[in-house]
Structure 1
Amino acid sequence: MSESAGDWMEAVREQYRGRGVGERLAAGRRPGIVVVDLINGFTDPACPPGSDLDAVVERTAELLERARAAGLPVFFTTISYEPRDLDELVWLRKMPALRALTAGSRWVEVDGRLAPRDTEPVIVKKAASAFHGTDLAERLAAAGVNSLIVCGATTSGCIRATVIDACAENYLVRVPRECVGDRAEGPHEANLFDIDAKYADVVGLEEVLDELPGVVMAR
């Protein structure tokens, strides 16, 4: 983060403190992991909407290893379009790079370094939020989840939209900073700041990992 960005963020953070914005939330006792769109189309810079997210994938793999050992449910999302979608969806007109994410292509597959297990659903979505037009909320309820750990890409798009909807669904949300990424630093940092102020707690991965031994999952 640049020094100038850090300066304005701290000034706004101080302003918010006196106005009841940005309170810290407790960690949930029954969390689920939602891995948003860490698919080849986003983690491979050769794809139009892709960028270098190697560090994000590496740290997310670390989180998944620990979460799986603790018995936490894990949910993945992908963006995948059928031919009929290409001319119908406004988002694809605004961001035509996403047209590369066609059903059946390698671009819509979860990055192989994260390798979803057979019990971990890959939920197909066509909009930014993991909740919009999907059965994610029903799956979370069935798994007994009362809080979320959200990771993936991109911070300014699908992460932000998913976190806002999760907050609207009354989930406590943790966003491990090292496990989310974007195509550029400015939007990434600005959106993490805003998410942390209004919708979720943005924390270090180590804090999330330290909390895992205290979770209690329904059996």
Structure 2
Amino acid sequence: MALPAIAPYALPGPGDLPPRKVSWQVDPARAAVLVHDLQNYFLGAFPAEGPPLEPALANTARILAHARALGMPVIYSHQRGGQTPEERGLQLDFWGPGLPADEQAQGVPVVVAPAGQDVMLLKWKYSAFARTDLADLLAESGRDQLVIVGVYAHIGVMMTASDAWSRDIQAFVVGDAVADFSAEKHAEALRWAAEKCAVVLSTADLLEEK
């Protein structure tokens, strides 16, 4: 299965986000930011201009500037192009060969590009915790909160938030800094995360939490 061609849709506004089930608040001394799979290959399924991608990237850029200014670690999950069938595993059955061995496809848009001490985390499965050092990186830096932005909301973002919960790491999914296959899938992912394992908040909410 190839990635779908994603039609434009509006990102959820503050009134569209599911309510918090828990009282967690983002603490810059405890939190890290995960930029989930914002590689050109995955973003190529979206319209290049307009929603949902353009505002989601703009919100992500604001979050990254905020996090870096407060000393919050920023971690980028990324997949390597040209994976062998053995490396792809069951993802091959569901999604085909994945990223080509091409620098442009594997790259990150300039507006949300890594900087300074940001960490690049090679990722193999839906969850950024699966077969990676993410849990160790968080523990070593004394972080037990994870703010998640990126794509796709109902796949890797949701699975990563669930895995964070399984490790007693508080997950925060920024509802207008993620994007998905459709408005319906986007809303479904946010609703599930808020009900089961995470706090869903807006970029504005996050920037106001000190």
Shorter chain as denominator, the TM-score bin is 0.7 to 0.9
Residue 183 (structure 1) aligned to one of 181, 196, 203: 181
Between the aligned partners of 2:145 and 2:101, the Cα distance in structure 1 is 31
Query: Does the Cα contact within 8 Å between 2:82 and 2:98 map onto a contact in 1?
Result: no
How many Å separate the matches in 2 of 1:34 and 1:41? Answer: 18
Question: Paired residue for 1:171?
Answer: 169
C-alpha contact 2:92 2:98 (8 A) present in aligned 1: no
Alignment of 1:1-219 (within 5 A): 23-29=21-27, 30-45=30-45, 53-85=53-85, 89-96=89-96, 99-211=97-209, 214=210
Q: Secondary structure at the match of 2:77?
A: strand
- The structure number with the bigger radius of gyration is 1
Whichever residue aligns with residue 105 of structure 1, its letter is E
Instruction: Give yes or no for contact 2:146–2:169 (8 Å, CA) kept in 1.
Output: yes
Moved more, 51-60 or 128-137: 51-60
**Deviation of residue 28 (structure 1)?**
4.1
Instruction: Report if aligned partners of 1:167, 1:199 keep a CA contact under 8 Å in 2.
Output: yes
Query: 1:124: how far off?
Result: 1.1
> CA 1:119/1:187 → structure 2, altered by over 3 Å: closer, same or farther?
same
User: Aligned to 2:138, what secondary structure does the other structure show?
Assistant: helix
For 1:66 and 1:83, the matched residues in 2 are separated by: 34
Letter in 2 for 1:25: S
Give a deviation string over 1:28-82, Cα, whole Å, max 9, x none.
43110011001111222389xxx96222111100110111111111000112244
CA contact (8 A) 1:77 1:123 kept: yes
Q: Which letter maps to 1:126?
A: W
Offset, 1:186: 1.2
Q: CA deviation at 1:140?
A: 0.9
**Is the 2:81–2:102 Cα contact (8 Å) retained in structure 1?**
no
1:150/1:159 contact within 8 Å kept = yes
Aligned residues: 191
Structure 2, unpaired ranges of 5+: 1-8, 11-16
Q: 2:5 aligns to what?
A: none
- Is contact 2:148-2:172 (8 Å) kept? yes
Residue 151 to residue 83, structure 1, CA distance change in 2 (3 Å): closer
Q: Distance in 2 between matches of 1:103 and 1:25?
A: 43
Q: Residues 135-182 of structure 1: CA distance to partner in whole angstroms, max 9, x if unpaired?
A: 111111111112111111000101011000011110111111111110
Given residue 184 of structure 2, which amino acid in structure 1 is its aligned partner?
G
Q: Residues 146 and 83 of structure 1: is their aligned pair in 2 closer, same or farther, counting only changes over 3 Å? A: closer
- Across the aligned residues of Structure 1 and Structure 2, the Cα RMSD in angstroms comes to 2.6
Q: Give TM-score, length-normalised by structure 2.
A: 0.82
Q: Is the 8 A contact 1:175 1:200 kept in 2?
A: yes
What is the identity percentage for the equivalent residue pairs of Structure 1 and Structure 2? 25
